[in-house]
A = this chain, B = another copy of it.
């Protein structure tokens, strides 16, 4: 095996990785529709044939990019939560994650644009849903961890709170990608409102 310097499989993996790398940058900077496969391939030093040899099409390429971003996001927020000690710092780290702190500010914009475009492709939509579910569960675990650690209770069931925070982050990011003036603090404000100080009432009805 590997008699020569690099095997074909290794070269292809390099090509695939380079394409994802370049595509991530261009998708995030210009959006999904405004990014052409020709430009991605050229920027990566290949031709469009390389893209179609490594991905089924534009949607699958974007899905691969979102995989990378999602992994980064989950890792980043996990680190922030386990590194920070007090609730305030954790909330801030979470808020940063939600729109523009860790990784790329344009994430939510790409996410929702691609979501709208991929609505008609059943398989792509299903893949996106799977990823969203994973993120929601990760958020749920983190809320549980934080709430327990600080001896507090959540006003909402954990899965509901997780869905609410993911939706809020996505919506806030989408609106903020148009209007940078929208206050970032909304996210932490809602989180604080949902997590009452210890000894406060539990959700009644």
Q: Residues on A close to B: CB < 8 A? A: 30-34, 109-110, 112-113, 115-120, 125, 128-129, 132-133, 155-156, 160, 163-164, 166-172, 174-175, 177-179, 182-183, 185-186, 189-190, 192-194, 197, 200-201, 203-204
Task: Decide if A110 touches B120 in the complex (CB within 8 Å).
Answer: no
Which chain B positions have C-beta within 8 A of A33? 33, 116-117
Question: How far is A186 from B201 in the complex, measured between Cα atoms in Å?
Answer: 20
> Closest residue to A171 on the B side, CB-wise?
B171
Number of copies of this chain that the complex holds:
2
Task: Decide if A186 touches B174 in the complex (CB within 8 Å).
Answer: no
The A interface is mostly helix, strand or loop, or mixed, namely helix
Task: Decide if B120 touches A30 in the complex (CB within 8 Å).
Answer: yes
Which chain B positions have C-beta within 8 A of A168? 164, 167-168, 171
* Other-chain contact of A116, B160, B177, B179 (Cβ < 8 Å): B177
Which chain B positions have C-beta within 8 A of A193? 155-156, 193-194, 203
* Other-chain contact of A174, B31, B163, B170 (Cβ < 8 Å): B170
Which chain B positions have C-beta within 8 A of A112? 112-113, 115-116, 174
Which chain B positions have C-beta within 8 A of A156? 189-190, 193
Task: Decide if A166 touches B177 in the complex (CB within 8 Å).
Answer: no
Task: Decide if A178 touches B113 in the complex (CB within 8 Å).
Answer: no
Can you report 18 residue pairs joining A to B where beta carbons are below 8 Å apart?
A: A32-B116, A109-B115, A109-B116, A110-B116, A112-B115, A112-B116, A125-B178, A132-B178, A160-B185, A166-B171, A167-B168, A167-B186, A168-B168, A168-B171, A169-B171, A170-B171, A170-B174, A170-B175
> Closest residue to A163 on the B side, CB-wise?
B186
* 19 further A-B pairs in the complex, CB-CB below 8 A; given A32-B116, A112-B116, A190-B194: A30-B120, A31-B119, A33-B33, A33-B117, A34-B120, A109-B115, A110-B116, A112-B113, A112-B115, A115-B175, A116-B116, A129-B178, A156-B189, A160-B186, A163-B172, A164-B186, A164-B189, A190-B190, A193-B193
